[in-house]
Amino acid sequence: MSFFGFIYFWNAPGFDERGYPGNEEEYIAMSILPGWGSLESTAHWYWGFHVAGLVFILLLALSEILAFIYSKRADTLRGIAESARAEKRQQEMDEAKAFHVAEVEALKKEMGQAERRTVAIQREPTDRQLSPAQGNALIQGLSPFRGQKIRVVCTANDAEGCRFAEAF
């Protein structure tokens, strides 16, 4: 039979006529607890357990309050650490950007100097001639082959090469 969600077993072994467990078993099971047989000792144990329950409830409330406080502090410290990491990351990015800007400026400066040198070289006169020392070096290099004919040729559109051939 069910009554308010509780199921009672009448006529079952260990249960009385109201559906409650029998007293013999309860008395045997609880008799191992200290002070079970005395009214004064059970009152003291009741009061002690009641106070212990209140103390545990207070400790639970205190631990929840401390957990709340520490969780707020942990969130604050987490935010501070994250902002410090973000600031450090931003500083590293700024340093890298400044380094790249300086490197690009140095390369542009070097490129400008190279262009000026190229322009200066292109503006120099291109007429070159064999110096007497270079002519003597050629003669000394060919002296072991005396008596042999040497032919110096140049292409038709190379004016400078033809001048070197004639000078030789």
Whether 167 shows a pLDDT value over 90: the answer reads no
Q: Is 139 helix (H, G, I), strand (E, B) or coil?
A: helix
Residue with more model confidence, 58 or 168: 58
CA atoms within 13 A on the CB side of 18: 4
Whether 2 shows a pLDDT value over 60: the answer reads no
pLDDT per residue as tens digits for the range 73-105? 999 999 999 999 999 999 999 999 999 999 999
Whether 15 shows a pLDDT value over 90: the answer reads no
Give the DSSP H/E element, type plus range, for residue 28: helix 23-30
Q: What is the mean pLDDT of residues 141-165?
A: 79
Instruction: Give the pTM.
Output: 0.41
Look up residue 89 and give its two tokens.
């990351």
pLDDT per residue as tens digits for the range 33-79? 677 777 888 888 889 999 999 999 999 999 999 999 999 999 999 99
Domain ranges of the chain: 1-32, 37-124, 130-168
Instruction: Kindly report the backbone phi and psi dihedral angles of residue 125, in degrees, each rounded to the nearest multiple of 5, phi listed first.
Output: -65, 140
Out of 10-14, 122-126, 162-166, which region has the weakest mean confidence (pLDDT)? 10-14
